Amino acid sequence: MSQETEKEKGNISINTENIFPIIKKFLYSDHEIFLRELVSNAVDACQKIKRITALGESADPLGELKVSVSVDETAKTITISDNGLGMTAEEIKKYINQIAFSGATEFVEKYKDKGDEKQIIGHFGLGFYSAFMVSDFVEIITKSFQADTKAAKWSCTGNTEFEIVEADKTTRGTDIILHISEDSAEFLNNARVKGVLDKYCKFLPIPIEFEEKILNNPTPLWSKAPADLTKEDYLNFYKELYPYSMDEPLFWIHLNVDFPFNLTGVLYFPKISNKFEQNRNKIQLYSRQVFITDEVKDVVPEFLMLLHGVIDSPDIPLNVSRSYLQADANVKKINSYITKKVSDKLAEIFKDDRPNFEAKWDSIGVFVKYGMITDEKFSERAVNFCLLTNVENKQFTIEEYKNFIETNQKDKSGKSIVLFTNNPETQDTYISSARKRSYDVLKLDGVIDQHFVQVLERKLENTDVKRVDADSIDRLIDKDIKVEISLSEDEQNTLKDAFKRVLGNDKLNVTVEALPTDEMPVVLVMPEFMRRMQEMSEAQGMDMNMFGGAPQFNVIINGNHKLIHKILKTTATAVNDALIHQIYDLALLSQNKLSGANLTAFITRSVLMCEV
Ligand code: ADP
Ligand code: MG
């Protein structure tokens, strides 16, 4: 290098006295992204030289492209080096000095009061300047691939003055040297830097070296053609994404579209448990293999937030606010594209491999039902493959089920009645009553089934969906077949009064009905409408006292039962009272609702009765 190096000084053209405090202030919350920006610039430089070489426009041999990051704790620097296309002094002036700052004035004007810090980077081409969030002083040492050009060194402290001198770099590429400021000393720690690189650079397309190791996988699965991939590839990539996951995914969807927007990715359907909140935020959003965020809300429909995987799209605006994202036309299109892809895939598996689909329904069902509840478009498609499972674990589509119950489960007005249980254990008595009539009972015992019932009702025309314990079975499906009741009006009133007195509740809703003789002597029910009201208000955190306390069970006395006749014939009140208590408790017990002191009293009474 000659002694009298060409030296040029100049001023960055900007009206604001000092841009850097503003950059620092606005970008404050996300300091670590300087590494993302600088490493992706280095990757861009490598991609560009690759292209230029392929076009035969570079005489320089391409070599092995690589980006290296290193920390020097003593010198307090971080260096990002690449062997990409490099820059001439003229190019530095053009790309680094002017472009960035031309946007900056505008940015200062526009965002002065908004405090929306994430908007800046990329949007205004301030990527490189994020270096100043953590540095007092930044140097660029670079040599262009172009023959007969000199290496150059640019440097700039935290003000608007820059300096360009000739440098003695002999190899193609760029070194960015950050002199880390006092208050960003955390980034002089190797572990901290590695953490940031792992987060943002895991799948960048050019090898990233740190501490003599390559950190990234430059050809992640989603960047390859689906036709070239095997099942193992997908499973291995899942492990790469979620090293701590215990389960294999059920299946996956490879997304690949370039019109009207650009999007690639892989979405995995995980095996899910009922604790599904834990599974959220497992989709990672990338832009040209640069990690952006794992908050994909708005890009991915709400009901698919439980999916895992990767979405990569250069068309998603990345550094803008949430409200902007919601309104963005591309985001809307992407959202409905994903919904369609998912329903197509589900329809395909259902059609081609129904046994497999049925076997996985426990997990798939959660997505499908959630989707049907929240997304009308999806619901229209899903109605063809949404499965219903009955208490015998047989599975039906909605249409199949409608036909299945068509003949047997119509009431007197011609309406079909679907019966379901949300707890086959505690509602077993009611289920067996239904089974005695050869009625079928669906199992809707999942977390979201409470809401799904309403979707089901909408999809099934002229059909009511009722929980099996909502009434006595012959009133649930009222076929208007009158079973004769052998009790007189007086006898019925005597019974009702006796029950109210013994149970100590004047307001108890007691009826006497002609149930079959082999049914329970007393049946407790909660009307479908009442229960839904209660569930709804509970879900909204309302106080049940607003409706005069928690709704109680209605008591149905089986007027045809032997024990009831016995009660009527017996004159000894003490014996009668014990019997009434006993059969009422049995009804509670059949629902697993007897506990505490009431349970103890029941057991004591039972022992006494056995002794007689
Ligand atoms: P953007 O990446 O959005 O263009 P930046 O501020 O990150 O904005 O970078 C500005 C420009 O500086 C780049 O477009 C590129 O021309 C140039 N540049 C930055 N870093 C490098 C590098 N490592 N090698 C070559 N050119 C670079
Ligand atoms: Mg950039």
Residue-wise pLDDT for 534-585, tens only, equals 787 777 776 655 555 555 789 999 998 999 999 998 877 888 899 999 999 9
Would you say domain 489-525+544-611 falls under CATH 1.20.120.790?
yes
State the DSSP string of 100-135: HHHHHHHHHHHHTTT--GGGSTTTTS-TGGGGGGTE
Contact status, residue 156 vs residue 63, Cβ threshold 8 Å: no
Q: Is the pLDDT of residue 104 over 70?
A: no
Q: What is the CA(39)–ligand 2 centre distance, in A? A: 8
User: Euclidean distance between the first and final Cα of the chain, in Å?
Assistant: 116
The full length of the chain comes to: 612
pLDDT value, residue 292: 82
Cβ of 33 less than 6 Å from ligand 1: no
Q: What is the CA(104)–ligand 2 centre distance, in A? A: 15
pLDDT value, residue 103: 45
Pocket residue to mutate for ligand 1, from 82, 128, 162, 174, most atoms within 8 A of Cβ = 128
Contact status, residue 5 vs residue 165, Cβ threshold 8 Å: yes
Sheet holding 441-443, edge to edge: 441-443, 416-421, 463-467
Residue 594 to residues 590, 600, 609, Cα–Cα distance (Å): 9, 9, 18
pLDDT value, residue 184: 94
Q: What is the CA(222)–ligand 2 centre distance, in A? A: 23
pLDDT per position as a tens digit, 109-140: 554 554 443 334 344 446 788 898 899 999 99
Which residues are within 8 A (CB) of 78 and not within 5 positions of it... i.e. 6 or more apart? Answer: 35, 69, 70, 71, 72, 177, 178, 180, 187, 188, 193
pLDDT per position as a tens digit, 146-180: 999 999 999 998 676 789 999 999 999 999 999 99
Q: Is the pLDDT of residue 27 over 80?
A: no
Ligand sitting nearest the alpha carbon of 123: 1
The architecture that CATH gives domain 386-476 is 3-Layer(aba) Sandwich (3.40)
pLDDT per position as a tens digit, 557-567: 999 899 999 99
Q: What is the CA(133)–ligand 1 centre distance, in A? A: 17
pLDDT value, residue 543: 61
Pocket residue to mutate for ligand 1, from 47, 51, 80, 95, most atoms within 8 A of Cβ = 95
Strand ranges for 343-481 from DSSP E: 387-389, 395-397, 416-421, 441-443, 463-467
User: Please, which pLDDT band fits residue 13 given cuts at 50, 70 and 90?
Assistant: low
Distance, in Å, from the CA atom of 256 to the CA atom of 312, rounded to the nearest integer, reads: 10
User: Please, which pLDDT band fits residue 324 given cuts at 50, 70 and 90?
Assistant: low
pLDDT value, residue 265: 95
Q: What is the CA(51)–ligand 2 centre distance, in A? A: 18
Q: Whose CA is nearest to atom 4 of ligand 1?
A: 125
Q: Where are the domains of the chain?
A: 3-214, 221-352, 386-476, 489-525+544-611
Which of 227, 94, 72, 243 minimizes the C-alpha distance to 154? 94
Distance, in Å, from the CA atom of 84 to the CA atom of 381, rounded to the nearest integer, reads: 49
Q: Whose CA is nearest to atom 20 of ligand 1?
A: 41
Cβ of 45 less than 6 Å from ligand 1: yes
Contact status, residue 416 vs residue 459, Cβ threshold 8 Å: no
Cβ of 175 less than 6 Å from ligand 1: no
Q: What is the CA(34)–ligand 1 centre distance, in A? A: 13
Can you tell me which atom of ligand 1 is nearest the CA of 122?
A: 3
Q: Whose CA is nearest to atom 9 of ligand 1?
A: 128
Which of 364, 368, 373 minimizes the C-alpha distance to 539? 373
* Fold match, 386-476 / 489-525+544-611: no
Q: What is the CA(45)–ligand 2 centre distance, in A? A: 10
Q: Identify the CATH homologous superfamily for domain 3-214.
A: Histidine kinase-like ATPase, C-terminal domain (3.30.565.10)
Distance, in Å, from the CA atom of 451 to the CA atom of 438, rounded to the nearest integer, reads: 27
Q: What is the CA(122)–ligand 2 centre distance, in A? A: 7
- Mean of the pLDDT values across residues 74-83? 98
Cβ of 87 less than 6 Å from ligand 1: yes
Distance, in Å, from the CA atom of 283 to the CA atom of 550, rounded to the nearest integer, reads: 42
- Mean of the pLDDT values across residues 338-352? 94
- Provide the percentage of residues in the chain whose pLDDT is more than 90: 56
Pocket residue to mutate for ligand 1, from 12, 43, 44, most atoms within 8 A of Cβ = 44
Report the CATH fold assignment for 221-352: Ribosomal Protein S5; domain 2 (3.30.230)
Cβ of 404 less than 6 Å from ligand 1: no
364 backbone dihedrals φ, ψ, rounded to 5°: -60, -40
